[in-house]
Amino acid sequence: MTLGQAFLEALESLSGNKLRSGLTVLGIVIGVAAVIAMLAVGRGAEASITGSISGIGTNLLFVFRGGQDASVRNERPITLADAEAIADPFAAPSVEAVAPILQSNREISYGGERTTVEVNGVTPSYFSVQNYELTEGEFINEEHLLGRASVVLIGPEAADTLFGRHDGITGETIRIEGQPFRILGVLASKGGGLFGSQDNLVAIPFSTAQARLIRRNTRDQVDLLLVQAVSGDAVLMATEEISQVLRQRHRTPVGADDFTVFTQQDLLTTFQSITGILTIFLGGIAGISLLVGGIGIMNIMLVSVTERTREIGLRKALGARRRDILIQFLTESSLLSLIGGIIGIMFGWLISFAVGQIAVASGTAFTPVVGFDAVALATIFSAAVGLFFGIYPANRAAALEPVEALRYE
């Protein structure tokens, strides 16, 4: 028996039991679609996070209190004096700019609308270091800093919540914890970030935050330092220079740091590891659906062998070889799996597309990515499932004795 003949006979046999064949194929369709959709979601999440990190800048470093060694005691906070020391070109020549930040969640209000956002006390260097742009208005400058001005830059998401729009609001007055602040400008949208939405925030002068909103244990304590290296290639050198400056100022030995310096590459590696594990986990769960679909194929093929016992005996009596019977039933199981795989690929792409459209409609910067390798993996796996779960029924059919098969009722 040639493969062509086996294929035509398999089609004829499967079309004779359309409902049963369709339900069997459905198990493979669900499995393949789930694998492709889950992998696409995982890839999309990784691409979204990586894009957000890269959008901040490849030469950005984060410095904050607390070392990686939990046994270190008497940790000193990061201060404005530390920021000034790091900004010294003689102490850290690989550092371009330093932006100290005070951070806290506070309630803002306008009219009858209220919402809780992240309030950042910042210096003028914050906006260049973070690559922020404005859609209207102006940035906070040194004059606002020196005068402890009651001005605020507002993110588009926070503006939409309060005003129902994010344009034409410069000059309006909002309240932060009941205190009035004049809107100086509106930040351009940046989407999701490392620590939440970069659009649902407001920025006020650092000195104003110190004096009126975000008080810490010491006068010059800061929550975070954003440090910009002179270039992406200088990040490692800048990390070492920052560490040396802080060790000298905090009087900590090497290996007992009371601070942490995070680079973009550290963040990328961490998030890629997390999303990679998540993708494998999701793909594994989806793979269970394929396994269930394969068991369905084996079950149906065993039923088919039982129903067609006399047919098998007649074929063997007329000269069909064991190999012919084996090929016939393997072709049927593989064809079921192949049809299910093709439909599943299309269905999986459709699910991924729908998820992407839902994300766009909800304003989330997330697009599932259907990769060729995911399609190839799902196709190969579905074909392997068909072959694997078809071998036992095919062997059982091929092993039937012609005389016994012909006498089967």
- Per residue in 319-371, pLDDT tens? 667 777 777 777 777 777 788 888 888 888 888 888 888 877 776 666 787 77
Same-domain pairing of 253 and 273: no
Using the predicted structure, report yes or no on whether residue 124 has a pLDDT greater than 70.
yes
Domain boundaries, position 218: 67-257
Mean pLDDT of 5-18: 65
Mean pLDDT of 76-92: 87
The candidate with the shortest Cα–Cα distance to 129, out of 167, 87, 182, 82, is: 87
pTM of the model: 0.58
- Output Rg (C-alpha) for the chain, integer angstroms: 32
**CB 381, CB 35: distance < 8 Å:** yes
Query: What single-letter DSSP state applies at residue 363?
Result: T
154-178 pLDDT tens trace? 988 888 888 888 888 888 899 988 8
Query: What single-letter DSSP state applies at residue 142?
Result: H
Same-domain pairing of 117 and 171: yes
For the chain, how many structural domains are there in total? 2
Distance of CA 174 to the CA centre of its chain: 35
**Residue 61, in any domain of the structure:** no
Q: What angle do CA 209, 211, 213 make, to 5 degrees?
A: 45
**Residue 223, in any domain of the structure:** yes
Q: HSE, CB side, 13 Å, CA atoms: give it for residue 277.
A: 5
The candidate with the shortest Cα–Cα distance to 206, out of 162, 114, 140, is: 140
Q: What is the pLDDT of residue 153?
A: 92
**Residue 145, in any domain of the structure:** yes
The residue with tokens 């016992």 is 309
**CB 213, CB 160: distance < 8 Å:** no
d(CA 233, CA 156): 33
The token pair that represents 63 in the structure block: 């410095």
